Amino acid sequence: MSTALRRVAILDDYQKVAFTLADWAPLQDRVSIDVFTDTISDEDALVARLEPYSIICAMRERTKFRASLLDRLPNLKFIATTGMKNAGIDVAYAKTKGIVVSGTGGSGDSTTEHIWALILSTARYIVTEHAGVRASRQLWQSTIPVGLQGKTLGLVGVGKLGQKTAKIAQVFGMKVIGWSPHLTRERAEAAGVGFVETKAELLQSSDIVSIQMVLSESTVHLIKAEDLALLKPSAIFINTSRGPLVDEDALVEVLQKKKIAAAGLDVFDLEPLPLDHPLRGLDNVTLSPHMGYVSDDNYKVFWAHTVENIVAFLDGSAKRVIV
């Protein structure tokens, strides 16, 4: 493969850390690199930006590489994405175009930590009270935190992430139950989670509901308006998986009407969340900008492997190829 200078685009580096958390020296004099810190969703604008590049570094699913976009990037030969799965890239179609896609490893357990950061901050109204203290609110305390001991945590999805979440819940003295379309009683028992037969039973029984599901055609709007209607008025709803797993309009409505107590959300239908989105104006939500997978340790592995992957591709021996 030619070692002529190639153009590389690093996308969606919101925190401007790509160059600080990895050693890019192995690519010196082999590539020309441009870094972009914003996310573009409009396809025409993406084509205008990315058309010159033969190598693109994608941070998770922030920028989507659908077939229609790949068709309009004739110079693209290699996508280096973070993680070994990226639902935002049509990997199968990329392969037909001769575009190689490589992924990275990760480090630590950032998402489990973030699930509990959201549960705890929502249940204890940390954001509300923090804002009050910072604003010199005369009223010293304005909320009553929800105690977790003896409460029921309902897990929609009891895979590896759900199992880790369950173990922490048990430390707090919570009862944990689980449901998913394919969960069996045997798998639930092996995970130390109470098995419930139906989604409705889980939603009706839970004080806190947390989703740990993979987004696919079959799981889009797994949680619909009629499902949200089953939640207790005191319930807390947590989503750190993917926004489209939940009917977002329906969730906004139940929160606006205070039909549930609160929600802690890390993921949304459209990301970044539009500035005029109604979720931004609600006082019973705790919001974070899809950072469940973000940590210093994860980023160090992501960027180091990205450099290794680009070097390997340029040397004609691509590694960590996603198929």
Catalytic residues: 242, 271, 290
Nearest in space to 160 (alpha carbons), one of 205, 122, 117, 109: 109
- Sequence-ordered list of residues with C-beta below 8 angstroms from that of 141, at least 6 positions apart, any chain: 129
Nearest in space to 54 (alpha carbons), one of 93, 14, 91, 3: 3
Distance CA 306, CA 55 (A): 11
Enumerate the β-bridge partners of residue 152: 175
Q: Quickly list DSSP for 121-141.
A: HHHTTHHHHHHHHHTT-SSS-
Three-state secondary structure call for residue 220? coil
Q: How many CB atoms lie within 10 A of CB 229?
A: 12
Distance CA 58, CA 39 (A): 11
Q: Are 230 and 259 within 8 A, CB to CB?
A: no
Q: What are phi and psi of 195, to 5 degrees?
A: -90, 130
Four-CA torsion 40, 249, 277, 279, nearest 10 degrees = -120
In the block, tokens 């973070």 appear at 82
For 36-78, the three-class secondary structure string (H helix, E strand, C coil) is CCCCCCCHHHHHHHHCCCCEEEECCCCCCECHHHHCCCCCCCE
Q: Are 238 and 119 within 8 A, CB to CB?
A: yes
